[in-house]
A and B are shown apart, each in its own frame.
Chain A
Amino acid sequence: MPAMTDQQIPSGKLLALGELMSKVAVDRDKTAFAGLFDHYAPLIRAYSLAREPGSDLVADELVQEVMTRVWLKAAKYNPRLANLNTWIFTLARNCRIDYLRRNSRYLTEIDPTDIFNDMEDEGPGPFQLVQQSRAEESIRAGLEELPREQSEILAKVYLEGKSHQQASDELKLPLGTVKSRVRLALKKLEVLVER
């Protein structure tokens, strides 16, 4: 039997996770849910710790919020429309936005639910399906090729949830440099081109 390539391992794993997900959605299977927890909870914790290093309590709270939504919204997740990893990423992002809003020093009445709800409940439209798996591979490969100064900024924005201004303060770079590095990275990843 030929050895599996690097690209095949994650997609095979994703397939297995997809099966767990469907058991959760259709059969309300708690053992399957525990399997999803085992895989995703450590990633969700890592995502939270990227923003607040050392805050185990915050990380656990985010896990609880996200996995609660996975259980409650399982029936709305459509595997044909959205990759499970992406669904989890958007849930984690949305839960973090909620958490930050509730714990902000300055309150706002803006409810983020309806701003970011699309992916949670509907996923992308069917027209995106065809391109999805190819985009997935090219983005993964592209991220590895990025110069460090560009991937560092993407990590600040996506994982630490920093604004361009915060990234500029922390990295002691002019705001314009931060923006242009994001722009260059997005260009290399070809995520903004019209297809």
Chain B
Amino acid sequence: MDKLNNHPYGELLASYSAGSLPLSQALCISAHLEHCDSCARKLQRLNRVGTELMQQLTPSKASDDLKNRLLDRLDSLEDETPKHESARVDPSIPRCLRQFVDSSYDDLRWKWVSADIRSVELCRDSNGARVELLKIKPGGSAKTHTHLGDEYTVILEGSFSDEAGLYRKGDFIVRDRHDQHTPVATRDRECICLAVTEGPIQFTGPISRLLNPFLRRGYA
């Protein structure tokens, strides 16, 4: 596995470990972790922080009634954890995304966004954040845009570059409302990203700015 250059910063990884991140952001971290041994090791140590903090709590005694009821039920318990594993699933799709992608990215209902971009909305988070996949054609460009909220991106296939650098498969990128950027996919292949947007994207070009009122409606 190649060493990646773009990782979630420590505080974000700690919130993931603590379980206090919105699920949409946790989804991005999880997708990144599958590509990044270095962050996976950091996560192990962060989990130990949570473990030690939990050990330091003053225990609060559980009732015998609770224990006995559970002991009585042990034989009838069944594992109800949902499984999103399909035999046909493309192994390069991160596990955390298989709840949305049955077999391959090609089978999704991609929608036209611009000549260079297709998108498919996977779901919304309870905080209103939009979770989507974006597909940029080889050499294609997303319009220059800013955001009304933070944007989290993980590259799933291919690579792209913007004003700040080149990003490859597995890279994790956060852009906040002050960053204005123009991502361009590299020419050799199309680029697929997981994108979580906390507020609508604002186009900043002179003509595309006219689109903003329509885009904002999606977040009402």
A residues at B contact (CB < 8 Å): 10, 30, 33-34, 37-38, 41-43, 45-47, 49-50, 59-60, 63-64, 67-68, 71-73, 83, 85-86, 88-90, 92-94, 96-97, 101, 104-119, 124-125, 127-128, 132, 135-136, 139-140, 143, 154-155, 157-159, 161-164, 179, 182-183, 186, 189, 191-192, 194-195
Contacts and interface: CB of A to CB of B under 8 A. Distances in A.
Contact of A63 (B66, B79, B99): B66
B20 interface: yes
Interface string B37-74: 11011101111111111111111111100110011001
Contacts of A72: 77-79
Interface of A is mostly: helix
B95 interface: yes
B48 A139 contact: yes
A64 to B, nearest CB: 6
A135 B48 contact: yes
A30 B74 contact: yes
Most buried by A among B15, B54, B58, B84: B54
A86 B47 contact: yes
B38 A194 contact: yes
B92 to A, nearest CB: 15
Contacts of B46: 186, 191
Given A64-B70, A163-B21, 20 more contacts: A42-B62, A45-B61, A47-B57, A60-B62, A63-B62, A71-B74, A97-B19, A104-B126, A107-B126, A110-B99, A112-B23, A114-B84, A116-B26, A128-B44, A136-B48, A157-B18, A157-B20, A159-B54, A186-B10, A191-B46
Nearest to A121: B81
B49 A108 contact: no
Contacts of A192: 10, 13, 42, 45
A188 to B, nearest CB: 11
B163 interface: no
A102 B9 CA distance: 29
A114 B98 contact: yes
B63 to A, nearest CB: 8
B210 interface: no
Contact of A101 (B23, B40, B61, B74): B23
Contact of A116 (B10, B19, B62, B63): B19
Interface string B1-40: 0000000011101110111111110110010010001101
Given A108-B123, A139-B49, A163-B21, A59 B60 contact: yes
B86 to A, nearest CB: 13
A186 B47 CA distance: 12
Contact of A43 (B48, B57, B82): B57
Interface string B127-160: 1100100000000000000000000000000000
B82 A113 contact: yes
B81 A43 contact: no
Given A59-B60, A60-B62, A159-B57, A119 B11 contact: no
Contacts of A161: 18-20
A30 B195 CA distance: 46
A42 B119 CA distance: 47
A62 to B, nearest CB: 10
Contact of B96 (A38, A104, A115, A125): A115
B11 A89 contact: no
6 contacts: A42-B60, A43-B59, A63-B62, A71-B74, A108-B124, A128-B41
